Chains A and B, each alone.
Chain A
């Protein structure tokens, strides 16, 4: 039930900010423990600068035509659109599993060892189908509540860890070029939000380029804050853990209350819920407006199947959670295809010509 009312582009980007921040909640940092905090800052800056480049094709299409990418494809080359829909369908399925797998893994390892990851994924996907059926506008409204909750959760997690800070390590600029590449690659992961933006920006109004820049800067600030606390509060211990942010939440204490990891659990659950719902919305958008719910359910079933395969087959799991593969796939989806379309499709990027 997508409402026909356009909503503010700020809200979409706020939602995407939450999505990009969830990367650091779910993934272990692929960085060297001997590299200092400043080195991590450079990695974050490089990674997010590259992410900004991923945004450019979608932004160009949005600003110059007023359409989102799928709408442009449907209008300009209907014969190509099925192939593009298949490609992006595969991309969204892959990315959804990329986030779902570490989430269910973390959930079952840290909280409920006796629960099957497939059960967790199934329940989560059912909820996401419901949300996706309500439409992008509604999901971004949900994003406002999640933003407030994320603020409180981060203050609790970081504030509660202040007592554990140890300033004896970290403010050094160690690190090799290889580590810089790996670090930057990790921080390019949030570039997947550029693809979501490219697909859903058609529902929005009052878009400005500075909103994208601000989103990426805030993502960087969030990453830097978490890296700061991880570097100083936990140091090398944190790097050996699978989910460093989770460890950060465990060391948080407020007097006799130390259950901050429940807040972390809630935050990651809501974030994954948000991301997967948005992916399902994008799938609905890519395959067209008719029978959206049917398509959403089909793709949710595909995501569940792939997730189940990954749970039981290690090679599949390794492939699906590989950051390099994810970044490469995102590069094709966010940059190569839109650019190829723009250049070789000879699309007239003139608002009047297309919109008339």
Chain B
């Protein structure tokens, strides 16, 4: 992991009021009282840094620069704030006059914001600003000298592309905003700031193209975010539940997640809204539809026939990953006559040598696979090979040789597992449905699978994302959108399209 230090070029626009206890209006306080209150508010936290200054003046002016340890670039703080302040002669200036002089003649920073109460002061310093307060002055100044270590911009591991940008979102909000702005230079691109989390005061940005996004959708989104009553919001995933339409199934996600700025920009141009949460590289896009899970950035760079092939491949892989173990269980347990003869002979022979019924065998292997997957994700990379060896040799080959599981079961579970990674964003519902279908197939045969399929399709058809039907393009069917569902039409045909989520049929909020 590479760490770098940057200076933020953007001024923060703190609009929301925080609600801390022990906070007063510092306009009426002396500098000492203010600093005392501040220390009390932060309970003498070790990272609260107060640099008290005696300015050069005939009247003995006192001032203080308040920062949070590690949030500021010290070199810049010294050059643009401390050195000019200490070297400037304020003469016989009063506090207010000195403040004017500081603003217009002393500070070398281009990013200075005035504030007038302690709540704003706290918001600024916790965002990395340096706060300058002068005794006898009812105003303070927040100076943009932010600079802290964070992960550099790199390609997201979960959305690797062959052709296209290698940039991925990173944790700081402002860096992520700049990545979008660099791609869409239109003034229609709007970032709208909100704060969530009563304790964490996490900043987030609603990002949209004002000429594309529906005002009604935006209002709905703002309302839902304002209803978020969490104390702490550490990642965008915390907000997903608040953004989902009430009364709809949670099996499939009604909000999309992407770590790629080019993907998010593409979605913005279709009238979607992005929610960028400070501290997480996963950006939410909403409304989110089922067919989006099968679209990738590479599709739009590759040849159309190849993109269409990949799309169809993804759909097949999705169905295989969900249905294959369940179908195998149902056929082996209830309808072995459906197997072609030579497969039937081999499968029956293999299954007859194993102690467990086929349903339990498939369930057990799928469960073991999930355990191994989870272990592989959590353990250090250096141990990853060991897990692979244990999985492949011990659980795979040895279990087959020992007659605990059949080779055909192992093959089916492994194939389904590999297929599930083709559409990795759908992994949670795939995993859940796979277990459900294995149980349904094991208990009720093909009929159980058909019945569960009907219920799942009904549930998916009933789902909406910000009022847009989740299965849009397929059901309700839209012939126009088909140019970018199972196939990807050529750019000449795609370029004259006017796909916008608000125009999808049966959208409840337009």
Contacts and interface: CB of A to CB of B under 8 A. Distances in A.
Given A141-B476, A256-B340, A130 B447 contact: no
A141 B454 contact: no
Contact of B451 (A4, A7, A135, A269): A269
Interface stretch (A21-29, A232-240, A257-265, A313-321): A257-265
A138 B446 contact: no
Contacts of A270: 450, 454
Interface in A117-176: 120, 123-124, 127, 130-131, 134-135, 137-139, 141-142, 144-145
Interface string B450-473: 110011011101101000010100
A5 B458 contact: no
Contacts of A256: 340-342
A1 B337 CA distance: 42
Interface string A1-40: 1011101100100000000000000000000000000000
Given A259-B338, A266-B446, A1 B462 contact: yes
A3 B471 CA distance: 15
Contacts of B471: 141
B476 A1 contact: no
Contacts of B457: 142, 145
Contacts of A139: 458
Interface residues of A, number: 34
A52 interface: no
Contacts of B461: 134, 138, 141-142
B343 to A, nearest CB: 9
B71 interface: no
B480 interface: no
A5 B446 contact: no
A111 interface: yes
A265 B476 contact: no
Contacts of B450: 265-266, 269-270
Contacts of A138: 458, 461-462
A93 to B, nearest CB: 21
B20 interface: no
B451 A259 contact: no
Contacts of A4: 508
B136 interface: no
Contacts of A257: 340
B487 interface: no
Contacts of B475: 141-142, 144-145
A273 interface: yes
A142 B463 CA distance: 12
A107 interface: yes
B506 interface: yes
B168 interface: no
A265 B455 contact: no
Contacts of A273: 451, 454
B113 to A, nearest CB: 46
Contacts of A8: 476, 505
A259 B447 contact: no
B506 A3 contact: yes
B325 interface: no
Interface of B: 247, 334-335, 337-338, 340-342, 444-447, 450-451, 454-455, 457-459, 461-462, 464, 469, 471, 474-477, 505-508
Given A138-B461, A138-B462, 4 more contacts: A5-B508, A144-B475, A262-B446, A269-B454
